Amino acid sequence: MKVLVPVKRVVDANVKVRVKSDGSGVELANVKMAMNPFDEIAVEEAIRLKEAGKVEEIVVVSIGPAQAQETLRTALAMGADRAILVKTDEAVEPLGVAKVLKGVVEAEQPGLVLLGKQAIDDDSNQTGQMLAALLGWAQGTFASKIELAGDKANVTREVDGGLQTVSLKMPAIVTVDLRLNQPRYASLPNIMKAKKKPLDEKSAADFGADITPRLKVLKTEEPGGRKAGIKVKTAAELVDKLRNEAGVL
């Protein structure tokens, strides 16, 4: 079975995001970029399934600028077999991404698509669900455990107050959550080998996908600052301040 893993290039999670002075978006120039952490978990899970003999080939795909090749090479160094870059310099909305991925799925014919539940830059949490709808495939979201058995995928997903296990008939879409696994670090030999693995460049037009934006960002701004806290010595003083200064009692 073949597994397709979409990955996104985002600002590194350890970098403090800065908003552009004109409020038009986030500053990306000279900023460290990395693979979306949730997608990294999806890559790791695909590799583990391959190591367990459940998967024969792992294909990673990214939709973005030429620099997204670095993200794909990271996935290849982790253990993916080949990569596809759908090149575009424009920001692509979740629906546009889902349309492109639909074309990739139809071309590659994977039995399973694994992707992060959301990207940490826009927090949309929409692409996996939209892709499942466009394909008419079963879907399991927020996966914390995945087991393949024959033509079924048993997905344990996190819900409010507990866990839910669903059985999906493959082909299927699964979006992964943080507790699914701990991604491995790519070794130096594998990083070198990744440079020789196949990486094909495509365009959205190659898959017949219209990625014209439907939304217009009006303004981007940083969260408002918080007032500095104060320390109180007694419970009575705390109650007094909550009642007379904060007005919450």
Q: Which amino acid type is present at position 158?
A: E
CB atoms under 10 Å from CB of 86, counted, come to 26
CB atoms under 10 Å from CB of 228, counted, come to 5
Q: Where are the beta strands (DSSP E) in the chain?
A: 2-6, 9-11, 33-35, 57-64, 82-87, 112-116, 138-149, 152-159, 162-169, 172-176, 199-202
Q: Which amino acid type is present at position 235?
A: A
Q: Judge whether 139 lies within some domain.
A: yes
Q: Judge whether 71 lies within some domain.
A: yes
Query: Into how many domains does the chain fold?
Result: 1
Q: Judge whether 78 lies within some domain.
A: yes
Q: Which amino acid type is present at position 78?
A: M
Q: CA nearest 81: which of 59, 54, 108, 113?
A: 59
The C-alpha atoms of residue 131 and residue 100 are separated, in whole angstroms, by 9
Residue 112: which region, alpha, beta or left (left: phi > 0; alpha: psi -120 to 50)? Answer: beta
Exposure string of 126-156, with b = 16+ CB inside 10 Å and e = fewer, is bbbbbbbebbebbbbbbbbbbebeeeebebb
Counting every residue written for the chain, the total comes to: 249
CATH of the domain at 209: 3.40.50.620
pLDDT of 176:
96
The two beta strands, 82-87 and 33-35, are unpaired
CB-neighbour burial class of residue 8 (10 A; exposed 0-12, middle 13-18, buried 19+):
buried
pLDDT of 220:
86
pLDDT of 219:
85
Q: Judge whether 182 lies within some domain.
A: yes
DSSP state of 178: G
Per-residue pLDDT of the chain (249 residues; tens, 9 = 90+): 999 999 999 999 888 888 888 887 888 888 899 999 999 999 999 999 999 999 999 999 999 999 999 999 999 999 999 999 999 998 899 999 999 999 999 999 999 999 999 999 889 999 999 999 999 999 999 999 999 999 999 999 988 888 999 999 999 999 999 999 999 999 999 999 999 999 999 999 999 999 998 988 888 888 777 777 888 889 999 998 888 887 777
Task: Identify the bridge partners of residue 9 per DSSP, sorted by sequence position.
Answer: 35
Q: CA nearest 175: which of 110, 130, 109, 108?
A: 130
The C-alpha atoms of residue 115 and residue 119 are separated, in whole angstroms, by 10
Q: Judge whether 101 lies within some domain.
A: yes
For 122, the domain range is 2-244
DSSP state of 59: E
Q: Judge whether 128 lies within some domain.
A: yes
Q: Judge whether 249 lies within some domain.
A: no
How far does CA 223 lie from the centroid of its chain? Answer: 23
Residue 209: enclosing H or E segment and its boundaries?
none
Q: Judge whether 44 lies within some domain.
A: yes
pLDDT of 217:
83
